[in-house]
Amino acid sequence: MQASCESVPGVVVAGLRGGSGKTIISLGITAAWKRMHIAVTPFKKGPDYIDAGWLSLAAGRPCYNLDTYLCHPAVVRRSYATHSHSCDIALVEGNRGLYDGIDADGSTSTAELARLLHLPVLLVLDCTKSTRTMAALLLGCMHFDPRIRIAGVILNQVAGSRHQKKVTDNIEQFCKVPVFGAVPKLGSEDFPERHMGLVTSAEHGFSSQALASVEKMARDHIDLNALYRAITQDCDTAQKIHTEIDSPDKVPPAAGFTKPDSPPKNCSNDQVVIGVVRDSAFQFYYPDNLAALEDLGAKIVFISPLHQKTLPDVDALYMGGGFPETHAPQLAKNTSFRDHLKHLSQKGLPIYAECGGLIFLGQSICLKDKEYPMSGILPIWFGLSLKPQGHGYTRVLVKHKNPFYRTGEILKGHEFRYSKILKIDFQDHEMAFSMERGKGILDKKDGFFKNNTFGTYTHIHALGSESWAPALVEQARAYKMR
């Protein structure tokens, strides 16, 4: 099925708050449209890996993150246009409430992103124990910022047909906005939650069954054809975003990673191999980060410390976040991999690790009074807390000389962790980052490095931190030359 206009139409799925059901409904719509042979490109607003992983699985194609804090707005627009051009429709899942941002102006909010991309909003309304008030809340959202166009709503947590009719009648009478569906209360067995939200698709043993369940929910309770028509019949806003992106003066020269005009030749002599640790324990990677490395000529090889005894021949290693704590016994048991990694670190292999990867670089992690050894590269001993120890956007100043960043450089990222530092042994110059926003590893310091091994709680996005990918590739090339 093809969209009825030249540009790719899209919609932002938003809620009044976090936990309103927008993720489940976004997944259901995406999976159902895919079953209807509609090509959907999914996006996730904000620095989220778990929802993005599920959306990617539902759409059968990568899900890209759009974040106006991590990246310049022009880069966000370019990313949206670039990644959505080959589909029939784009679906952007928002985060938190529609207007929730980091300040009173709503900066970094879902509404700001909808305005930036000139996309209509599909609002998910949690109707628990409420009827006419939902119309009042919707009306408030419509008038709070007249620039936001709410194309329709989906009712969630509906108690029955009588409840549904009351809410629908009030919304249609007072708000003049179409109701595209009403979803009853669903059980949690298909999407169990853990301390960071939905369980990752990589860890969920029945991901295909879970997606089949939400797809059926969407087909049974949402008018998918009417929703698709409503979005695709209004393509003027989608055309506007493409017109703006095509203007070269809209994107400043340093706004995000740009693929080189003449990428390095991919011959065996000068192509570097970068290992990426990815399995059910480590799976938090932005597709744009991996693409940035490949665009610079690197070959990506995926590695699993859960299943492999040693590392293959690589010139650098990138270890993303994840849940090493839920796989601690298996990681600890694989002594040959841990020993090999430590040996390569001592030889000078460039290693860049974020959050969960940082934990694996440490000495151990203690869970319920039992200690599990990790790779033993960095002198940090970790534990796990019941409450978040770091949560939100970060802004760091590169204070000390290190293998990957220039001193004086400012980086924007994010952190979300429940792990805590039980013990650490470091000297001040071994912490590259001074935290201007966020917590970091300890005492507003982050970016612990020894030799060419670098571990940080701050996740970065390659389109916003444009120096990261070239530095990792250059370190890999230098290691290969040695």
| pLDDT tens string 425-474 | 999 999 999 999 999 999 999 999 999 999 999 999 999 999 999 999 99
* In the chain, ranges of CATH 3.40.50.300 domains: 10-250
Cα angle value 334/336/338 (rounded, 5°): 70
Which whole number is the average pLDDT over 41-53?
93
Domain with CATH 3.40.50.880 in the chain: 273-481
Give the pTM. Answer: 0.88
Q: What is the pLDDT of residue 270?
A: 80
Lowest mean pLDDT among 61-65, 238-242, 325-329, 342-346: 238-242
pLDDT score of 237 more than 80:
no
Alpha carbons 367 and 313: distance in angstroms, whole number:
33
Quote the DSSP letter at residue 100: -
Parallel, antiparallel or unpaired: strands 299-303 and 273-277: parallel
Active site residue 355: yes
pLDDT tens per residue across span 98-137? 999 999 999 999 999 999 999 999 999 999 999 999 999 9
Provide the CATH number for the domain formed by 10-250 in this structure. 3.40.50.300
Catalytic residue among 71, 127, 175, 355: 355
- Do residues 57 and 26 lie in contact, with contact meaning Cβ atoms separated by under 8 Å? no
Residue 235: predicted pLDDT: 59
Q: Could you give the CA distance from residue 56 to residue 74 in angstroms, rounded to a whole number?
A: 24
- pLDDT value of residue 188: 60
Mean pLDDT of 411-417: 95
358-368 pLDDT, tens digit per residue, is 999 999 999 99
The CATH number of the structural domain formed by 273-481 is: 3.40.50.880
